[in-house]
Structure 1
Amino acid sequence: MKKKTIEFLMLISLCCALFLACSDDNNGPGTPGGGDDDEQLGEIKDTVFTSFSNVLTRLVLTNAPEGEDVVWQWSMESAPSEIYSLTAATSREAVFLAGLPGSYKLKVTATKGEESQTGNISVTVKKSAAEASPYIAKIYDFLPAVGQFTNDLPAYTEGDTREDIITKVEGYLVGKENGGMVSLGGFGGYIVFGFDHTVVNVKGKRDIRILGNAFGSNANPRPDAPFGGSCEPGIIVVSYDKNGNGLPDDEWYEIAGSAYQTAENEAWYPFFLEAGKDVRTIRNYEITYHRPVSEEVADEYIYWEDNQGNSGYKAKNMFHRQSYFPAWVNEDRLTFSGTRLPENGLDESGAGNYFVLYAFRYGYADNYPNTDDESAIDLAWAVDADGNPVELPGIDFVKVYCGVNQENGWLGECSTEVAGAVDLHVKGISIDTRK
């Protein structure tokens, strides 16, 4: 993505006078002649500086004493809006990001032993020259797994290259809310996109919504059934442009949805367990799809195998007769990896004619209708590769991939669809996070 003014990384040094109050050789404590003087903490000067809306800013306290014995604490005293983040604020450096212009009042306290000093920091945030769009600004990559809508959403034309397909996806999604829809196919199929600004990770609020086409069933025969219908959950992975080069090449963090560790707290878990469904969440799951030897085969169509010792075939159904293997890919096999969610589809008719795909409680794409609060994501749910929570100031890039490997009879595979994405703060939508 070509970065605009609102996206470059600004380094601002906040001058802080921290000095050692050393005792006089004749009157101070310790051995006469010097040696064991007590180190004192000096004054932190109040600082005023200017930034721009949607600019990640490192606040660096200079001339500060080194060592683990100095404890720094930052806090926001007053702000014209809740659309800001103040992160990594337990050292001499903090990262500040404001989504809206205005005057922000911060406080920083340094403590060393029994000595403590507090300084005030005023941040005047000016409006950026370019207005931030709440929608997707660029598609960086798109590779669906096999599926009944692959080569259809978007439509493949003979001779299309990867770049041609990405251009088509951009035509569907860039700058639009529900402008079109692309399918990620079965497990692992993915899309990578970015915004034209940094989406602020606002404390206590949900920050983004990935649009899909999930909807509820009208005639589920199960009494008191939890929400379900066509729910095809996609795993969401996020990154912020730490190196400032405008490319999605920094570290990625998974949004830990409700089944990140286990699905035991999902309302549908007991009857899925009873039905013998695979209800495990599997980290580092890997699946390989093989190019079909014939496009005429219906049941044993595309062979697949995973790293759990399982294998089988993806079927071709009567409703979609095009190739289900991405036609612009030259390789004869495709391998995808990531977190595999439990199966969420069940034949509630018992006769193969009424399948219900149940929603996970929160944290996924294409899992709840776009108007439901549970389709909105809090960036505070992000975790690192080891599952540890991370404190992101905001994010610039998003990857979504289909999180379920499952066939649902005549409905076909579970395949995540993406119809866009929204920065809720730029859009002016306020949704509290889950408690």
Structure 2
Amino acid sequence: MKKITTLIIMLSICISLNVKAQSKETLEMQKKVMATEKESDKKIAIMNSIIRDFQLDTVKNAEVIDIMKGEIALSYLNTGTFTKFEIYIGMIKNKFNQTSFMNMGADMLLKNESHPDYTEALAKRTIERYEAYKDDPAARPATFLLSDWDRFMKMAAYPYYESYARILHINGKDKMAFIYQEKAIKGHELEDLMPSSTELYAVLLESVGRDDQAYELLLKMAKKGKSSLAMNTQLKQLFVKRKGTEADASIFLDSIQRNIGQTWKSEIAKKMIQNQSAPDFNLLDLNGKRMNLSELRGKVIVIDFWATWCAPCIATMPAMKKLYDLHPEVMFLFVATGESGTAAAAKARVSTYIKENKFPVNVLMDNYIEGTKSFQAATAYRLKGIPTKIVVDKQGMFRFSTEGYTTDNEVINELEAMIAIAKEQ
């Protein structure tokens, strides 16, 4: 299930078709310039220039203008200028665009852990406005097909209600948070939602006294290999409350993990790459030491391609940390690729992340290939995206590749199976 920011991106793609085809590319370039500008006043100047230079009509191109005003509103919110945030949010004509940016604003404040009272009030107003127009035919812009509008309304309920539930939970109002989290997940299979959604629901179930329901939910997720580390911790605590000691809980959870591990291994074995040597690379670590992959032959190697700007890459780090701790016999290499700016700026950014988070270790900087938009190791392994994990066996053979991030347990289960199979080669 995608977040509301995805809806805005989809909306932006649709509405850009209203602009003349010959100027679309240039317009998109100007919109990117505006999106990267940090200062609100400069954003306003760029927006006014775009409207003037591309002769955007306030009716025909209202959606494009809405999104630019929403970006300005968020830039003011980021600096705590609430009055101007409210002014620009009020300028947005499409009610869906308006509540989308309000929700993004609430999420921004939540992430920054600032102004909890205003954050809660903003999330509440987002829901009130959404509920006021979602079933109103007059709220649908003429440029929207009815089917598209209905789809957007249904998709919006999940992030809107969950943002409010999460804020209420942080503010210590779990009874009300539970009501809105139930609204958020209504009509969805929990295992198909973001892991953070199921985590929050399980915590709220326990908080309102529904321990048995929380336990059954977490047990179901664990047995399917779809739980996160936080879910496993809560499941262990609930097991102890119900049935005994921490030792008993560990034995019980380990048995679940063993069963899952055998299932994963059988499935993963079918995906093993045959007769392909792992491409060598020659990269520097953060201390300037050069490393060649070929020099590590004799060990199973896991290569994690990641970047500081990649949210799924960062989300997978707790799982990778657990795997690193579990397998001292395996060589883990974390290749930072796709970092923007000069090599020095990229290295500084990665170093700062490592220092703040104390992980990952064995970090290598991928080499930018001058005159291209590609990087040496990423190109050698034909990456389609990140995060991507590569598993190389002791003989230097490229055995597995896996992309993306779902839950901590799925990352752990998949790589555990790959490592086990690679050891047997």
TM-score band w.r.t. shorter chain: under 0.3
Higher relative contact order (CA 8 A, sep 6+): 1
TM value normalised by structure 1:
0.23
Larger radius of gyration: 1
